[in-house]
């Protein structure tokens, strides 16, 4: 709001009016949609409290009450998130109404069977993430190159489609998650729980959370060129999720083991996966940085570290076989073989790709902000995990393999941020460090479940 005020200024004649711009208040910047959204969130919170307060303890009631202002703030901070939440809520309620308390209706009601049951929605999520990745990559090679080397934000039809499909995939993932939560409460007494309790459920969480953070940065920096890289790691997670569903039938909802029957899970796991998701996002941005940085490099030995990525991917099935998981060999040989070919294709086409990527400064900034956000939430998750452990097992820390590797992940990114803030770490070294951090994070996320055992062995393969 600009308000003309009469005052004196050293630079102006005495008595001349001077215009002073006053900052608008936070609430005065809200429009009708913001207030309608806030009203709907409050109404939803009140309804959930009245409907389910008998099934919640004091801590869970506190979490519900605290969630309401957080969701309102998030919707006001980023309006597309508000639209997403309203759409997810509408379709989730539609699904619940179609169930009408009878889970058997999932096999007879058309919308439930093909779209809105939890498993149908999550399978749609998987397909849409694959499709969005393809569209992003088509856009990478067909889009118009502006004079500064960055794709025009709105002119690349393929990338716009990739972005829209990614939004839809995130929406389907959230609908599937909300409906799965409802389904779990109708399977039997004491089975209902928030769907973040096993590898299947947290992989869904990882996929939509990583994609959603990317979509925020996409709008913030007004470039969709990074979608081709970031969606690769999401598609890789989808590939694992499909195998886990088809081979292990992991989609079945299971009762919680006693240690997980705690309100701490509702806080610890989402915070943890914000960290995992943003660390993965930073790693893929780091990969894009290295591709752009070495776009004109012709000496093969200077590209050896990047070629090594493809070789490692080819050798991964051997690691799986040596671990005694022979059932993985065929699927994962194809999975990692395709991954290796993708890396090789990116390296061979690096000049064309680099021309469409944002400036190195932008890539470096996205990488830094992703790690900073992830580190903050991962720290919170680690503290919450320690408090949960004290309640469940009687001690804050037990050097369980999962705890040990969580500490390694935390120390890795703490050192990265320290070197950046204190020593000005930038460029190639920072990018390689962020990329290597993905390997450490992946082992902490899933490798511990595959090769080690301990108190956290709830999602074994």
Share of the chain above pLDDT 70, in %: 83
Residue 150: pLDDT over 60: no
More confidently predicted of 10 and 141: 141
- pLDDT 10s digits, 265-286: 889 999 999 999 999 999 999 9
pLDDT (0 to 100) of residue 84: 98
- pLDDT 10s digits, 221-242: 999 999 999 999 999 999 989 9
Q: Which residues contact 87 (CB under 8 A, 6 or more apart)?
A: 171
Residue 305: pLDDT over 70: no
Mean pLDDT of 151-164: 82
pLDDT (0 to 100) of residue 297: 64
Using a cut of 0.85, tell me whether the model's pTM lies above it. yes
- pLDDT 10s digits, 418-439: 999 999 999 899 999 999 999 8
Instruction: Delimit the domains of the chain by residue range.
Output: 1-77, 98-256
pLDDT (0 to 100) of residue 166: 98
Mean pLDDT of 284-299: 84
Residue with tokens 């051997």: 318
Average pLDDT of the chain is 85
Residue 180: pLDDT over 70: yes
């Amino acid at each position: 709001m600009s308000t003309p005020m009469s005052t004196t200024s050293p630079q102006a004649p005495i008595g001349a009016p001077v215009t002073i711009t006053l900052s608008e208040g936070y609430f005065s910047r809200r429009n009708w949609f913001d207030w309608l959204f806030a009203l709907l969130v409050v109404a939803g919170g009140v309804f959930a409290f009245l409907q389910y307060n008998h099934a919640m303890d004091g801590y869970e009631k506190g979490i519900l009450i605290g969630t309401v202002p957080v969701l309102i703030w998030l919707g006001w901070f980023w309006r597309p998130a508000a639209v997403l939440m309203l759409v997810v809520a509408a379709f989730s309620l539609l699904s619940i109404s179609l169930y009408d308390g009878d889970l058997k209706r999932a096999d007879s009601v058309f919308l439930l069977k093909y779209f809105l049951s939890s498993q149908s929605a999550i399978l749609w999520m998987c397909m849409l993430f694959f499709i969005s990745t393809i569209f992003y990559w088509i856009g990478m090679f067909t889009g118009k190159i502006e004079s500064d080397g960055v794709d025009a934000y709105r002119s690349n039809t393929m990338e716009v489609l990739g972005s829209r499909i990614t939004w839809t995939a995130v929406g389907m993932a959230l609908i599937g998650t909300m409906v799965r939560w409802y389904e779990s409460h109708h399977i039997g007494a004491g089975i209902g729980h928030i769907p973040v309790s096993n590898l299947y459920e947290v992989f869904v969480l990882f996929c939509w959370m990583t994609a959603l953070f990317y979509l925020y940065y996409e709008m913030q920096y007004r470039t969709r060129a990074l979608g081709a890289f970031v969606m690769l790691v999401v598609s890789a997670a989808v590939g694992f999720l499909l195998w886990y569903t088809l081979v292990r039938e992991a989609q079945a909802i299971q009762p919680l083991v006693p240690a997980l029957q705690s309100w701490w899970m509702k806080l610890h796991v989402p915070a943890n996966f914000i960290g995992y998701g943003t660390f993965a996002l930073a790693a893929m941005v780091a990969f894009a940085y290295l591709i752009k940085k070495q776009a004109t490099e012709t000496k093969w030995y200077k590209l050896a570290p990047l070629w090594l990525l493809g070789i490692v991917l080819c050798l991964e099935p051997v690691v799986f076989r040596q671990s005694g998981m022979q059932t993985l060999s065929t699927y994962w040989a194809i999975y990692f073989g395709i991954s290796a070919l993708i890396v090789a294709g990116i390296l061979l086409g690096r000049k064309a790709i680099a021309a469409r990527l944002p400036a190195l400064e932008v890539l470096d900034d996205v990488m830094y902000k992703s790690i900073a956000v992830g580190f903050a939430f991962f720290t919170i998750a680690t503290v919450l995990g320690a408090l949960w452990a004290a309640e469940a097992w009687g001690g804050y820390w037990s050097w369980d393999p999962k705890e040990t590797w969580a500490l390694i992940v935390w120390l890795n990114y703490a050192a990265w941020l320290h070197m950046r803030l204190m020593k000005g770490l930038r460029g190639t070294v920072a990018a390689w460090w962020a990329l290597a951090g993905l390997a450490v994070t992946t082992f902490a996320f899933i490798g511990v479940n595959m090769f080690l055992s301990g108190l956290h062995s709830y999602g074994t393969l």
